[in-house]
Copies of this chain bind each other. A is one copy, B any other.
Amino acid sequence: MRLNLSESNFALYFVSFLHFHGTMKHIYEYPRAALTVDCVVFGFDHAELQVLLIQRGIAPFKGHWALPGGFVRVEETLEAAARRELAEETGLGKVFLEQLYTFSTVDRDPRERVISVAYYALTKPTDHRTQADTDADDAQWFSVSQVPALAFDHAEILHTALQRLRGKLRYEPIGFELLPPKFTLSQLQALYEAVLGTDLDKRNFRKKVLSFDLLLPLDETHREGAHRPAQLYRFDPVRYDHLQQKGFHFEL
């Protein structure tokens, strides 16, 4: 999807454009940077935080792993571009998606001047099949502790996304976006421990998380392995909106 325009970083552009009303104009304009979106897609599996990467099929960085992303079309918003690229390259549909940061180091793309707006996404394990469905472009999950070398400045973008995720997880109830709709408290705790990189006390964690009254216990249990089945919960977004409006403060 990336266009190879020139081997030079700097070029002088003349832009001629055709006006829709039929008049033709020729104007000199300042050269414009190309705009891309890149997505850091997080998942949680095997007790580890994962990132979805795609293997580049074309130069530059052919064969390298990179964040899914691509050029923004003029008539779409950045978020729309991010969702479109996610769908095209990874098959992912509706996921939690939030703008992260806009990266503009001058030589971040060896071809030409490219400015990239990074997004991060949180996916539930139910979404993970997607990569099997469409093997569009060889998407693959990597544990964040074992990501390969990345193309462009994608390592920096990933690093920024990780910091952001850690920060958000503390103060906003977004962890649920990484778990299946029905989950156990142990799964939630494992997620927090993996992302924050700390051990948490089981009793204190449960006490606190339940004290917010944001989790609804279900009439179901999660049975797996040779031990006591676990109570399943689901997150109650309605109640969260409600609480949030009266100045409520989620933390850890």
Contact = CB atoms under 8 A, between A and B. Distances in A.
Contacts of A133: none
Given A101-B99, A104-B78, A72 B19 contact: no
A54 B221 CA distance: 61
Given A77-B105, A77-B106, A106-B76, A5 B29 contact: yes
A32 B34 CA distance: 7
Interface stretch (A10-18, A135-143, A212-220): A10-18
Contact of A74 (B30, B73, B76, B102): B30
Nearest to A167: B171
Contacts of A30: 3, 71, 73-74
> How big is chain A's contact interface, by range?
35 or more
A106 B80 CA distance: 11
A3 B17 CA distance: 15
A27 interface: yes
Contacts of A14: 15-18
Question: Which of A27, A73, A74, A102 counts the most chain B CB atoms within 10 A?
Answer: A74
Given A77-B104, A99-B102, A102-B102, A15 B13 contact: yes
A229 interface: no
A238 to B, nearest CB: 23
11 contacts: A11-B18, A12-B17, A14-B18, A16-B16, A17-B31, A30-B71, A32-B32, A32-B33, A33-B72, A75-B106, A78-B104
